[in-house]
Chain A
Amino acid sequence: DAKTTQPTSMDCAEGRAANLPCNHSTISGNEYVYWYRQIHSQGPQYIIHGLKNNETNEMASLIITEDRKSSTLILPHATLRDTAVYYCIVVAFYGQNFVFGPGTRLSVLP
């Protein structure tokens, strides 16, 4: 079973920030938080990951709470092409397989 819980679906207006929450209350100290997305039936696409510090890259920002029990993926200026299913995954160590939950279906609306 997935170690994370996410809302089933969310809407966001085009051009606005999309904030996708993830609960991982049982996360261990050595577990990383990864975010992927799947657009239509394409393969999952890596977005960002972090351990305990906030992270930012060209796609998104990842905010992890101080107790590490939850995180938020932020797409600063959502576009229609960001419509996808977003997955939050916790992974303990190198080489461990990913456990996917149902994810959050984000719909970016014009």
Chain B
Amino acid sequence: EAGVTQFPSHSVIEKGQTVTLRCDPISGHDNLYWYRRVMGKEIKFLLHFVKESKQDESGMPNNRFLAERTGGTYSTLKVQPAELEDSGVYFCASSQSGLVKRTDTQYFGPGTRLTVL
């Protein structure tokens, strides 16, 4: 079974440019999460999709960040325009539907390292 995949693995852009990160969850997983780690800080939650719906986007830092999950499969996270403080590693995670389970395990992708110059 393929794990969570993320593309690109690295991205270097200049301040003011736009970048789009992609996450492909494990097949059949309804839940998709975005997290990020900025330099020297802890991993922080950004948002959570259940299928194509945003369940919780309380961690999104500002309106320069836009996440989508069309069709409930892969997800994209767009940063427009990028700022220096957006540099960090962006992780995606997915988990199965919780219809019969009280808790589930999140499986993380390898991350996308974003550098804004």
Contacts and interface: CB of A to CB of B under 8 A. Distances in A.
Contacts, number: 62
A1 to B, nearest CB: 10
Given A95-B31, A95-B98, A43 B44 contact: no
B91 interface: yes
Given A41-B111, A94-B102, A102 B45 contact: no
B12 interface: no
Contact of A93 (B4, B91, B103, B109): B103
Interface residues of B, number: 30
Interface stretch (A15-23, A44-52, A64-72): A44-52
A41 B113 contact: yes
Q: Is the interface on chain A under 10, 10 to 19, 20 to 34, or 35 or more residues?
A: 20 to 34
5 contacts: A2-B42, A43-B110, A91-B103, A98-B93, A99-B45
Interface of A: 2, 30, 32, 34, 36, 41-46, 49, 91, 93-95, 97-102
